[in-house]
Structure 1
Amino acid sequence: WFGLGNATAIGIVFYAALFPMLLNAWSGVRAVNPLWLRAGSAMGADEQALFWKVIIPGAFPFLITGLRQAFLRAWIAVVGAEMLAASDWGLGWLIFDAKEFLKADVMLAALAVIGLIGFAFERLVFGTLERATVQRWGMVRTVKG
């Protein structure tokens, strides 16, 4: 339908990541406490200030969850698109090529690299973001001896 090549792969990745992000953003905005919005309005905040100072911080946990889900689905879609639609490079293509030529060692090594990249991205990016958020909003309790 869409042909072969990088444009198709980019479209597949975009489509895979779009809906988790949109649904989580929508859920996050709907979950903002109406009392916070009324309080902000009562203090003189206009719509732009309400958006940046009330809605975004209130929806932030949902946005981060959406980013995590979108990254997971995009990473899966990248590998799948490389196997089926992209050119002759990438980890997905490497796995597909190794399968065709019965190179089990190459296939398993590529699978391990895919897992390590996903794990490292989760720890480095989302782990750092989660730690910063938890510290910023005071969700950490220290034990005083």
Structure 2
Amino acid sequence: GRGFYSPSDATKWVAYESEPAQLLTIGLGVGLFAGGLGVMLGAPGVFLAFGITAASLVFLQFGVAVPVSHHIALPAAIAAAASGSVIWGGLVGVACAFVGEFMARTFLCHGDTHIDPPAAAITVMTTVVNAAAAFGFFALAKLPA
């Protein structure tokens, strides 16, 4: 049978956003976009990146297969704003995409309650990013803007 972390298409959280290549592409694209807003606008850019991606979920309610990406945009924009580097936004975006899918496969795909994978990913990744910023990680691991 299927392993716990290999859900069937019927039990996947977002079937068109669950394969590694899809997660990499969406994570990098959204992370760079959100990172750009975070670097250019600072804190308002962080909220704008989150707001744009959260607002796109309206289309999902009407059956349009849009990426669920607010859990990628928020931590990626925070990382970019804190580090001054869009590259950090892209890297954190990729990590967020995979953390979101991990949360879905761990808590949602085989459960009988709804534990929101994006909320769980935002909790974990904003904690990691804020701790990295607070402890000077981005100053030590400087990447180009």
Which TM-score band (shorter chain)?
0.3 to 0.5
Q: Which has the larger radius of gyration?
A: 1
Higher helix share: 1
- Give the TM-score, by structure 2 length: 0.33
